[in-house]
Structure 1
Amino acid sequence: MFQRILVATDGSPLAKKAVTSAIALAAQNGAELVALTVVPRYPTNYFDGAAVFTPEDIGRIEKQWADSAQTALDAVATEARAAGVNLKTAVTSSDVVGDAIIGAAKKHECNLIVMASHGRKGIKRLLLGSETQHVLTHSELPVLVLR
């Protein structure tokens, strides 16, 4: 039924449950899995513009976000490999997580999006309830939301 499934993750416990379900679904359908992590585009957006950052600060923060994203995707890769599921990983940078998820699903020609109902806030945020709602209301693809 599904040939390519996109799963959005930030590495949070709830997102890990969505990943596990997406891997199982991909294995059952012989589908390829695309694991996506979205990182913020501009660090100052997450501090309400209250602080001024030097280029070194921004570089350090962006590296932390990139490292966190890679850790989340490495965990997906380990689990997918153990289940015999073919996996592609992607990291994208966006201030609008829902649009980034929908865009990645289109780019990778996915026919299902799997995501958690919510996740972390602040610097490590990825999948907030409002982002899930955004994907549900704007995606032309089927969306499986897990709690």
Structure 2
Amino acid sequence: MKNKLNDIQLENDETMVSFDITSLYTNIPVIMALEAVRKELTADPERNHRTKLPIEQIILGIHLCLTSTIFKFQGKIYRHTEGVAMGSLISPIIADIFMDSWENSALNTFNPTPKIWWRYVDDTFTVLKTEHISSFLTHTYKLTSRGNKIHIGIRK
């Protein structure tokens, strides 16, 4: 990454912007994540060779995994009600599928496309025209019902 950053040539009207989603797992909207999984399954040409399960049964199984999150803390039983559970084996996969979907939506529905876009898990680095930063950030907020959980750091 350091070598990549050294090679960036910023124009006078461009700004480097970095942002991440605070507490990614617990802030993933489960319904949006399931929609992203459904979209990936529908687009997968090899799915029928790997499983005979219909997409809706796969989605139901994933939904059960994501919403059956009972845990015990200090002798009391709780149910995890938002996002995906930390420590669950399925959570990293769901987080990555959700972020891919979010990233594709952000890039495919905003014009002009950022000059640079690099993402690692939930940390994103981009280079935008300075005049487009505000509209791009507003655009990305609208892509998720939890846009206010996106922490934004701007560097120029």
State the TM-score, normalized to the length of structure 2: 0.26
**Richer in helix (by share):** 1
Q: Which has the higher contact order (CA 8 A, sep 6+)?
A: 2
- Which of structures 1 and 2 has the bigger CA Rg? 2
TM-score (norm 1): 0.28
